[in-house]
Amino acid sequence: MLNKLNNKTVGKVVLSVFFSKKHMYAQCKKRSTHDTHTINFISTNSKRNSLIFKNTSVRNCFILGQEFGYSLFRKSIVSLVISKGKRYHGRLKAFIEGIRFFLKV
């Protein structure tokens, strides 16, 4: 997915999100000229989150976005670039609105 992004994202933190029918996965990557490093990752499939979130409803995605935004804020990240792969609607919109509580997206 990062290969499709243009050179304006080099040196910035890029958010990529994947939804399956049951779970949600999101990660932030810092892209340099030659390599990509994962900064943070969150999933509803982890042990802690699977007990809290039984499904990926819009409300749960908003809460998960707040948790993800707070963890990025603790790592001194203040802005993100969203990789455009999906429509900004529904669960993705709720997740990003949750992140906006703490960061500039």
Percent of the chain with pLDDT over 70: 90
Q: CA-CA distance, 95 to 105, in Å (whole number)?
A: 11
- Which candidate, 67, 91, 85, places its Cα nearest to that of 15? 85
The domain locations on the chain are 2-99
Query: pLDDT (tens digit, 9 = 90+) per residue, 24-66?
Result: 899 999 887 778 888 999 988 877 776 677 777 888 889 899 9
User: Residue 35's pLDDT is what?
Assistant: 81
Q: Show Cβ contacts of residue 22 under 8 Å, excluding neighbours closer than 6 positions.
A: 44, 55, 56
- Which candidate, 81, 76, 70, 72, places its Cα nearest to that of 105? 81
CATH for 2-99 is 3.30.420.100
